[in-house]
Structure 1
C-alpha cells in the first residue's frame, strides 16, 4: 500500500518594524518564509515565532484582512501589523493590572488617577491572567510568556525598563482619562478631602503644625498632604497632562 506524504505549506511573513523586537535576529528587517504544519492558525503561527498577539493589530493575507483563527495555506503572504495608537479596548471602564515588576509604574499611573491594580508579590502567571479576565483589566507586563496566556482578557507588553518611558508608553498607547490626585498610590482606592481634626491622630506633630490641606484614602485610610516630595510628583503630573491630556478618552468602543 502506498502512503502519500503531503508537503507542509510554506508561507511568507512580514512584520511591522515595532514588532521586530520579538523576532529572532535573523528574521528582523525583512520578510521571511516559514514552513507551517498546515493546521495551525495565523495567531498560533505569529506567537510561535515570538510575537504575543497582544502586540498585533491587523493581519493581512495576500493583502486582505484576515482573522487570527484563519489557517494559512501554501504560498500565501502574511503581513502582521502592530496595534494602532491610541488603542481602544472594548468594555469601559478602562482598567489595568500590573505584574510584580512594575511597581513604580503602578504608583505613577495611580498618581494620575488611572485605575491600576498591582500585585506586589509573584502570584504566578495563571493567577494574574485569571484576575485580568475576572476584573476585565488590561494586563501590563514585560513577560512575553505571560502575555501569551489564553485566560487573558487583554494585555500589553511594556517595552521600556525605565519608569518614565513606561508611563509614556502606556499613556500614549491607551489614552486613559487622567484625573490626578484622586487615587491612593498605595492601594488604588479613591481619595477624599479630609480635615485636620479627623486625621490628626495619624500625623506627626511637625506635619500637624505645618500643613492644613489633607486627603484620605476611602479604602485603606492612608493620609496624604503636600509634603517634601510634592514638587517631584507635581512635575510628573504636569508632564503627563501637557503631553497626553488632549488624547485622553473613555478607552472603549
Structure 2
C-alpha cells in the first residue's frame, strides 16, 4: 500500500493477533486510500469480531470509515459483558470445541455444535440462519461476512474457554436443563420410562432421572456427577452479584 499513512494503536488485549513490531504504541501504516478501516484492521490480523470501538483522533468511527493521511487510530477491544442485540443469546461451536459445547449445555446455555468439519461456508450460513454467535479459534472463519455474530476463543484449555465465554457474554445459566449430547431440553422421567437405558446396578441404585425431549437420552446422578457439579458451581460463582 502506498497511499495515506496513518498511525494505528492496538489495544493490549488484541496484541496476540498482530505482529510483535506493531505492539505497544502507535505504529505507522500505509493505506491504499480506498479500503475501509475495517479492511485495514483485518489486514493486520485482527478479526473484527474482537474489535470494540474504533477511535480516530478522539472520535468514534464505523468500520466503513476511509482513513485519511495522518489520522491516529485506536483499536479497542470488545467491552465486557458484550451484548448481542436482535435475538436471544445462543451459540454455535465448530468441531474443535466439543468439550466447551458440552459444558455450556450443562449450564443450560443454548449451544449448537458441529461434531464434524462441515466447512467454513456452512458454519457461517448456519450462524446467520439461526442467529447464533459463532465461537471458534479459526480466524478465517470469523472473518466471513455472512456470519451473524462471532467471537474468538482465546484459550485451548476447556476450563479457561468456559470462563472466557461466561465473562464475555454473561449468558443466563440454567444448569441441568439441557442434554449435553444434543442440546435438547430435559424433563423429569420415571425409572420405567428410561428402563431400557439402565444397567442392573443403575436400576438398583438410582431413582431420580431426567430424559431429553429431543433424543431420548436418560440422565441420572452417576459416577461423574461430583465433577459436573464442580463445573456448575464454579460457573455460578462467576456471575455478577446484584447490587
Q: Cα distance, 1:26 vs. partner?
A: 1.1
Does residue 106 (structure 1) correspond to residue 101 (structure 2)? The answer is yes
| 1:129 aligns with one of 113, 118, 124 | 124
Residue of 135, 144, 159 corresponding to 1:140: 135
Residues 49, 142 of structure 2: 8 Å contact kept: yes
1:244, 1:58 → 2: CA distance? 25
Instruction: State the 1:245 CA deviation.
Output: 5.8
Total equivalences in the alignment? 241
- The alpha-carbon deviation at position 197 of structure 1 amounts to 1.2
Counterpart CA distance in 2 for 1:61 and 1:174 is 27
- Runs of 4+ displaced beyond 6 Å: none
Q: In the aligned structure 2, how far is the partner of 1:245 from the partner of 1:204?
A: 41
Q: How far 1:168 sits from its partner (Å)? A: 0.2
Q: TM-score, normalised by structure 2?
A: 0.97
CA distance in 2, matches of 1:246, 1:53: 30
The gaps in structure 1 that reach 5 residues or longer are: 1-6, 248-253
CA displacement at 1:88 relative to structure 2 = 0.1
Q: Which residue of 1 aligns with 2:79?
A: 84
Match of 2:14 in 1: 19
- 1:4 matched residue in structure 2: none
Name the counterpart of 1:56.
Answer: 51
* Structure 1 residue 10, shift from structure 2 partner: 0.3
Equivalent of residue 161 in structure 2, options 146, 162, 166: 166
CA contact (8 A) 2:55 2:75 kept: yes
List alignment gaps of at least 5 residues for structure 2. none
Whether 1:215 aligns to 2:194 is no
TM-score, normalised with respect to structure 1: 0.94
> 1:4-57 CA distances to partner (integer Å, 9 max, x unpaired)?
xxx610000011110111001111122101000000001000001100000000
Written as runs of structure 1 = structure 2, the 5 A alignment for 1:174-253 is 174-244=169-239, 246=241
| 8 Å CA contact 2:94, 2:115 repeated in 1 | yes
Which one has more relative contact order, counting CA pairs under 8 Å at least 6 apart?
1
Alpha-carbon distance change, 245 to 206 in structure 1, aligned in 2, over 3 angstroms:
farther
Distance 2:208 2:97 in 1: 30
Counterpart CA distance in 2 for 1:41 and 1:230 is 51
Task: Spell out, residue by residue over 1:188-241, the C-alpha distance to the aligned partner (whole angstroms, 9 max, x if none).
Answer: 000000011111122111111100000000000000000000000000000100
Moved more, 20-29 or 96-105: 20-29
**2-structure distance, mates of 1:245, 1:57:** 22
Q: Alpha-carbon deviation of 1:246?
A: 3.9
